[in-house]
Amino acid sequence: MKLRVLYFARLRERFGVAEESLDFAGATAAELVASLQARGGVWAEELAAGRAFRVAINQDIVALDAPLPDHAEVAIFPPVTGG
Amino acid sequence: MKILVQTEAFDLGAEVAAMSQGRTDIGAIASFVGLARDLNEGSGVSAMTLEHYPGMTEKALAALVDEANARWPLLDVTVIHRVGRLLPGDPIVLVAVASPHRGEAFAACEFIMDYLKTQAPFWKKEETPEGERWVEARASDDAAAARWNAP
């Protein structure tokens, strides 16, 4: 499936990318995170188990077992700190 | 209901006046303004930059105002959150809630702020003498939001 993946704040800076288009064969947010971890380096470090990050699918924060719809907008970001 | 994400400053007095203008059913307006501080985690903060997720931010703020409306009989809600670079003393966020009586206005105002802190996609980066740093989320903010889920 085609995905548009966005990164924000500290993760955007560490990954050095704000947005990318991916052709992804998996089905869930967890599988996407695992495939990004497999890139190694800062990806493996920031997305390791136990690290705090959030995943949103089509602009709603979801649990990692959430299914990915085709053409989804997926965002991965640190816990929010507004207000 | 008014929800704005903007770089410009806001005027609390003008926002509160606009809520009650032309109506006489409002008995209470509770408001909160959050300001940029010059000290955090033991370091001086000379400025901060607020980043957000355009699109999701407005949607998340609308969702938490909807949730407040479902919990209390509110007459109007205004939420304004600034983004971009802010200096100590600058206002960051405004929440104002109008209702027939004070109890629900106080409660809903606090509820909206507590949820905003944990649900709305904003991130703060501070400028300190030691360099720039991203603000870390606080467990106390999660606890503040979680208490609204208690039965």
* pLDDT (0 to 100) of residue B45: 96
What integer is the mean pLDDT of B33-59? 96
Look up residue B27 and give its two tokens.
């008995």
Distance set, CA B114 to CA A11, B13, B18, B69 (Å): 24, 23, 24, 15
> Percentage of chain B surpassing pLDDT 70?
99
Contact criterion met (CB below 8 Å) for B116 and A83: yes
Buried/exposed B106-139: b ≥16 CB within 10 Å, e otherwise: bbbbbbbbbbbbbbbbbbbbbbbeeeebbbebee
Q: Which of B56, B58, B141 to mutate to test the interface with A (most CBs of A within 10 A)?
A: B56
Q: B60: nearest CA in chain A?
A: A60
* pLDDT (0 to 100) of residue B151: 61
- The 10s digit of each residue's pLDDT in B59-95 is 999 999 999 999 999 999 999 999 999 999 999 999 9
**Average pLDDT of adjacent 10-residue blocks, chain A of 83 residues:** 97 98 96 97 95 96 96 98 96
Question: How many residues does this entry show for chain A?
Answer: 83
Decide if B119 and A61 are in contact by the 8 Å CB cutoff.
yes
Res B150 pLDDT > 80:
no
* pLDDT (0 to 100) of residue A68: 97
pLDDT grade, residue B141 (50/70/90)? very high
* pLDDT (0 to 100) of residue A64: 95
Q: B56: nearest CA in chain A?
A: A59
The one-letter code for the residue type at B96 is A
* pLDDT (0 to 100) of residue B41: 87
Res B42 pLDDT > 90:
no
**ipTM of the complex, rounded to two decimals:** 0.95
